[in-house]
Amino acid sequence: MRELLLKRKSKFVLYLIATFMFIIEHFGQMVMAALILGAIQKADINYYKNIVIVTIIFIIYSPLNFLISRLLRIRYMRDTILDVRKQAFDKIINMPFKQFSQKSKEIYISNLINDINTFESKFFISLLNFLINIGMFIFSLLILAVLDYKLAAGMLVFSVLLYILASFFSKKSVSLEQEISSANETFTTDMANTFAGLEILKLNNIEDKFLLKSIGTISRVEKRKFAANVFTDMQRDVIRILAFVVSVIVLIYLGPKLQQGLNLGMAGFIFSLCSSISNYLISAFPMWNQMKASISIYEKIAKPEEYRVNIGRGSKPFVFNEKIEVSNLSFAFGSKQIIKNASFVIEKGKKYLIKGVSGAGKTTLLNLLAMVYDDFEGTIKVDGTDYRDIEEKSFHDKVAFIYQDVFLFEDTIRNNITLYRDIPMEQIDYAVKVSGLESLLEEKKEGLNERLTENGKNLSGGQRQRISIARAIAKNTELLFVDEGTSSLNEELGKEIERVFLELDNTVIAISHRYYEGVTENYDYVIEIKNGEVNCFPARDYFDEVITC
């Protein structure tokens, strides 16, 4: 948190100055009130007029002071919140995929929206008010010490007692804010699941059941917020009662002083100082607890976590000039063994087709080769370098993926193909041509600049898949992973796209349940998974045997 606040030191200094301007204005109000009381007691009309003129000037100054202070604060708050959003986003984006996939994506959305909004709305309000109130408390105590050191000593003792009381409330405040954050995550996840499955809910007439569930989730969020607000108010009420008691004691203390000749204006000023000290602490200590709670939210969403995965955390670059060698590879989901002691080689530039019955582990093996999983036994090495020693970013720079489930951004077709990278136009044209996208672009008025709706909902499944294929081809990588890349295409286009995969210079590792006669047998090798055992065969021998059988 300290690094965050001091990242822009000059703006933070201006933020503190803006806070100090509030303190000056507040003490100005107290001085004006004391001067007016003194002028009334003095009963000098000329002196009273001068005080009125000074008061009018101060009244004109006050809104100007507020405006300047607010502008200084807003700039700093805006930039700092932007830093928090960047840190939270960077934390998610740079997280190893396996660790990222351990939570629902809706939780990350809740962190980026709900938690950051909570931090923004509560932290800076708490920080500002805490600084103002602590600053005014210190100034008030110093002035009081000059005017009446005994009273100042008594107020200092009272302040220490309030600090101890506030510390007692602190832990509960942090706990309540964390509960709100967790409740928001659950609410966001439930809502996303409900909307994603809305068609199924309607077809089965169970909307009312999910409505009740949604109301329950919303109710839990609001209950957590209510509990936090009640607890914060309770802190203020307890401190306010104590402050009232102290104010009465101060009045009793000042009574004899007035009889001994103390000026009414001075007595009012001293009482105002003592009352203000109490009021500052009433505001400051709950705000301190609120700040601590907000900081815990910030650390949750922005502080880098200790990575719990081994793969992709290395420092070596992914260099694939010769081969990927798999040795004694075993992998299990819980107690279910998926891959058993597999050993085979992926040669650069060759085309490999992974085959096996449904549930045999084809996608699992693809993911192991794609650095998704790290908890495997045995080794996977590329040109002698262990996968566990390779940096994930370097790997992803050199590979491309085509999946059955396609994700498209709500953006232009061009940006969905390039993924916002600078790719030469001839390379984009080539990707469009070989992926069969030319006919789609001819239909669209804006061509490549045609905007897609959310996840390409204004396209057919085949059109969305072709954009995914064009995206992978345009990246021009060394290694291409294809998981049922032609499953949503018709027979003719699927066969054509499969032929494109086989004609690429890339090394291709694909999964496909389809057999395109005259094309599929042109893979170099078939990697077959059967009962957890993995065997590699020359493709023509494999398909000759299958067709013969």
Sign for the pseudo-dihedral over CA of 334, 338, 344, 347:
negative
Domain boundary among 240, 269, 302: 302
- pLDDT exceeds cutoff 50 at 347: yes
Q: What is the mean pLDDT of residues 178-186?
A: 75
Domain assignment of residue 318, yes or no: no
| 186, 183, 174, 237: CA torsion to nearest 10 | 170
| Residue 415, domain CATH | 3.40.50.300
Split into its structural domains, the chain has a count of 2
335 and 212: one domain?
A: no
Q: What is the pLDDT of residues 410-450, one digit of tens each?
A: 888 888 888 888 888 998 998 888 888 888 888 888 888 88
- Strand order of the β-sheet with 336-347 is 336-347, 323-333, 377-382, 385-386
Domain assignment of residue 308, yes or no: no
Of the two residues 475 and 135, the one the predictor is more confident about is 475
State the pLDDT confidence band at 314, using cuts at 50, 70 and 90.
confident
DSSP assignment, residue 314?
-
Of the two residues 482 and 263, the one the predictor is more confident about is 482
Q: How far apart are CA 259 and CA 267, in angstroms?
A: 11
Element (H, E) at 298: helix 264-302
- pLDDT exceeds cutoff 70 at 206: no
Q: What is the mean pLDDT of residues 185-209?
A: 68
Q: How far apart are CA 5 and CA 14, in angstroms?
A: 12
What are 460's two structure tokens? 């057919």
389 and 451: one domain?
A: yes
Distance of CA 504 to the CA centre of its chain: 39
User: Which residue from 373, 403, 388, 393 is spatially nearest to 481, judged by alpha carbons?
Assistant: 403
Q: What is the pLDDT of residue 525?
A: 93
What are 375's two structure tokens? 């908890």
380 and 268: one domain?
A: no
294 and 240: one domain?
A: yes
Q: How far apart are CA 218 and CA 190, in angstroms?
A: 10
Domain boundary among 267, 302, 337: 302
Query: For 478-538, where are the alpha helices, taking DSSP H only?
Result: 491-503
Question: 413-440 as b/e, with b when 16 or more CB fall inside 10 Å?
Answer: bbbbbbeeeebeeeebeebbebbbbeeb
The fraction of the chain above a pLDDT of 70, given in percent, is 87
Say which residues have a Cβ less than 8 Å from residue 100's Cβ, sequence separation at least 6: 92, 108
Domain assignment of residue 329, yes or no: yes
- pLDDT exceeds cutoff 50 at 548: no
Please tell me the least confidently modeled range out of 109-118, 188-197, 355-364, 481-490: 188-197
Q: What is the mean pLDDT of residues 93-114?
A: 68
Q: What is the mean pLDDT of residues 41-50?
A: 78
Q: Which domain holds residue 525?
A: 323-548
Q: What is the mean pLDDT of residues 358-380?
A: 87
User: Which residue from 44, 192, 204 is spatially nearest to 110, judged by alpha carbons?
Assistant: 192
Q: How many CB atoms lie within 10 A of CB 336?
A: 8
* Region at 477 (left for phi over 0; alpha for psi -120 to 50; beta for the rest): beta
Q: How many CB atoms lie within 10 A of CB 124?
A: 20
Q: What is the pLDDT of residue 240?
A: 73
- pLDDT exceeds cutoff 80 at 382: yes
Q: How far apart are CA 114 and CA 511, in angstroms?
A: 40
| Residue 34, domain CATH | 1.20.1560.10
Whether the CB-CB separation of 496 and 436 falls below 8 Å is answered with yes
User: Which residue from 180, 181, 6, 14 is spatially nearest to 83, judged by alpha carbons?
Assistant: 6
Whether the CB-CB separation of 460 and 437 falls below 8 Å is answered with no
286 and 418: one domain?
A: no
87 and 20: one domain?
A: yes
**What's the half-sphere exposure (Cβ side, CA atoms, 13 Å) at 478?**
17
477 and 525: one domain?
A: yes
Domain assignment of residue 315, yes or no: no
Q: What is the pLDDT of residues 283-309, one digit of tens each?
A: 676 677 777 777 777 777 777 666 555
8 and 63: one domain?
A: yes
- pLDDT exceeds cutoff 80 at 469: yes
Of the two residues 61 and 519, the one the predictor is more confident about is 519
54 and 176: one domain?
A: yes
What are 140's two structure tokens? 């008030």
Does the predicted TM-score (pTM) go above 0.75? no
Q: How far apart are CA 471 and CA 333, in angstroms?
A: 31
Domain assignment of residue 316, yes or no: no
DSSP assignment, residue 307?
P
State the pLDDT confidence band at 102, using cuts at 50, 70 and 90.
low
DSSP assignment, residue 519?
T
Q: What is the pLDDT of residue 385?
A: 92
Q: What is the mean pLDDT of residues 84-106?
A: 69
Domain assignment of residue 168, yes or no: yes
Domain assignment of residue 317, yes or no: no
296 and 332: one domain?
A: no
Domain assignment of residue 311, yes or no: no
- pLDDT exceeds cutoff 50 at 549: no
- Strand order of the β-sheet with 507-511 is 399-402, 479-483, 507-511, 351-355, 525-530, 533-538
Q: What is the mean pLDDT of residues 209-238?
A: 75
Whether the CB-CB separation of 447 and 441 falls below 8 Å is answered with yes
229 class by beta-carbon count within 10 Å (0-12 exposed, 13-18 middle, 19+ buried): exposed
Q: Name residue 171's beta-bridge partners.
A: none
Say which residues have a Cβ less than 8 Å from residue 477's Cβ, sequence separation at least 6: 397, 398, 399, 400, 506
Of the two residues 402 and 195, the one the predictor is more confident about is 402
284 and 429: one domain?
A: no
Q: How far apart are CA 486 and CA 497, in angstroms?
A: 7
- pLDDT exceeds cutoff 60 at 547: no
Q: Tell me the pLDDT of the chain averaged across its residues.
A: 79
The fraction of the chain above a pLDDT of 90, given in percent, is 10
Q: How far apart are CA 516 and CA 494, in angstroms?
A: 8
Domain boundary among 302, 336, 352: 302
- pLDDT exceeds cutoff 70 at 84: yes
264 and 378: one domain?
A: no
The single-letter code of the amino acid at 156 is: L
The single-letter code of the amino acid at 232 is: T
